[in-house]
Amino acid sequence: MTAPGSRRPPTAPPPTGSYPHSTCLGCGCACDDIDVVMAEGRIVEARRACPIGVRWFGDGSAPARATVGGRVASQDEALDAAAALVAGAARPLVLLAPELSCEAQREAVAVADLLRAALDSVTSATSLAGVLAAQERGRAGATLGEVRNRADAVLFWGVDPAVRYPRFAERYAPAPVGTHVPQGRAGRTVIAVDVGRDGRGPADADLRVAIAAEEEAGTLAALLAVLRESAPAEDAMWERARTIVTPLLAARYVALVSDGEPAAGRDPERIGLLITLGQALNGPTRAAHVVLRAGGNRNGADAVTTWQTGYPLAVDFARGYPRYRPIGGTAAERLARGEVDVALVVGSLDGGRVPDALVAALGGARCVVIGPRASESPLDVAVAIDGAVVGIHEAGVALRMDDVPLPMRALLDGPPATTALVRALGERVRWGLRGVERAGSSRVGAR
């Protein structure tokens, strides 16, 4: 069996057997207890994986092609064409898509810096409001291990993890036995607040409260008022708030669970109020606000971009240093205004991982796509180079939805490592820009 994180020699026979403790990036839970069973170089079973995880692992196969203008090309030819295209752009955009290791994300940020490009990730199209609210107010969070071991009350606000995060209840809350909750599910109180028709909580909740979608912000405000003992004596909304607050105040540790990527149409005020509610509960009891995020190492993109630039998304390198442009400077907004002539997408656009509206907007620019299944992109791309899937063909690091880093290992041979491809592109861009500077051009400085 291959050692964790290693790549098998090209001459090695196809792997057969079980590879325990593999990590799945199918959703933000990043379950790291998956036993991957392989036979003759293909994945035949992913034990303990949920249906989303089974689809994510698949059989481990992935294309390894490179195309230029729709025709098959060599990897070097495609990298040369991609470097020439992005280096010659007047208004380039680098977009971090899902299915990347943190190492690949770091290389992509370096390319954006070289190009003095706009840099963004899918977070701006899925979770921007939550990021900004957390920056403004400060979110009281915790690791999922802390929630598993301590939370004796779990409040699911307008979300049922079983839909998009199937193993959340099994691994973190409310089902498992914890250090301070030895009875497991029997020792936890589960409260579900159903918001409209599309925001129902878990079916087995001990207490269920239904509110209309238009009442969401008002109910959260009422909860805060009850906690601060400033609610009116008689009012239906305040009485409902008291019903929710009572079991929360009886708990030693509350986990407030909400969806960080809610469906369209939810009240935008809800996010800031949920963050404030998590803070307020840390007075009379202890509480952690758990924000559910989708898979593909989205949290890693936020963390790496913050580490490298100081900001989590919507970064502008046009002046030679990073500037934060979360309002008006996201990828979708720039594309809608026609401000992008070339977009470098690093990661996967396949499988619905990127919002359809953002994919459609990318169609208005010339695109280079490097990453898993790039050649199967729904876009008509100028250059596509297939890269490895981290955790299947490439080793690296990815972050769980609670920002805990997890090691990913390579299980199979496959396409070239995405990290190496982006690094090679960066080297070509660097040399190309040096050549332009030697020729006396002021292209970069003029942008």
Mean pLDDT for each 10-residue chunk of the chain (447 residues)? Answer: 45 73 96 95 95 96 95 97 96 97 98 98 94 94 97 97 95 97 97 91 95 92 88 72 94 97 79 95 96 96 98 97 96 96 95 87 96 93 97 97 96 96 96 64 44
How does DSSP classify residue 181?
A: B
- State phi, psi for 41 to the nearest 5 degrees: 80, 15
Angle formed by the axes of helices 102-115 and 418-438, nearest 10°: 10
**With a threshold of 0.75, does the pTM exceed it?**
yes
Beta strands in 101-234 (DSSP E): 118-121, 153-157, 189-195, 207-211
- State phi, psi for 9 to the nearest 5 degrees: -60, 145
Containing structural domain, residue 245: 128-292
**pLDDT for position 232:** 63
Q: Which two tokens stand for residue 295?
A: 């898979």
Roughly how many angstroms between the first and final C-alpha of the chain, as a whole number? 52
Same domain, yes or no: 209 and 320: no
**pLDDT for position 266:** 77
| Gap between the Cα atoms of 180 and 251, Å rounded | 12
Last residue of some domain: 275, 292, 309? 292
Last residue of some domain: 292, 313, 345? 292
**pLDDT for position 16:** 78
Residue 111 CB burial class (10 angstroms; 0-12, 13-18, ≥19): buried
Same domain, yes or no: 168 and 222: yes
Q: Which two tokens stand for residue 21?
A: 């403790």
Residue 36 lies in a domain: no
Same domain, yes or no: 95 and 138: no
Residue 268 lies in a domain: yes
Residue 346 lies in a domain: yes
Q: Is the peptide bond before 174 cis (omega within 30 degrees of 0)?
A: yes
| Cα distances (angstroms) measured from residue 394 to each of 39, 114, 132, 345, 398 | 19, 25, 33, 19, 12
Same domain, yes or no: 239 and 326: no
Residue 196 CB burial class (10 angstroms; 0-12, 13-18, ≥19): middle
**pLDDT for position 234:** 61
Residue 205 lies in a domain: yes
| Gap between the Cα atoms of 387 and 79, Å rounded | 12
Q: How many domains does the chain have?
A: 2
How does DSSP classify residue 92?
A: E
Same domain, yes or no: 227 and 271: yes
Same domain, yes or no: 157 and 234: yes
Q: Which two tokens stand for residue 105?
A: 């994300």
Domain CATH number, residue 233: 3.40.228.10
**Pairing mode of beta strands 153-157, 189-195:** parallel
Domain CATH number, residue 311: 3.40.50.1220
Residue 72 lies in a domain: yes
Same domain, yes or no: 280 and 382: no
Same domain, yes or no: 429 and 352: yes
Of 208, 204, 401, the residue nearest 290 (C-alpha)? 401
**pLDDT for position 424:** 97
Residue 16 lies in a domain: no
Task: Provide DSSP, 226-284.
Answer: HHTT---SS-HHHHHHHHHHHHHHT-SEEEEEEESSPPTTS-THHHHHHHHHHHHHTTT
Query: If DSSP codes are grouped into helix, strand and coil, which group holds residue 206?
Result: coil
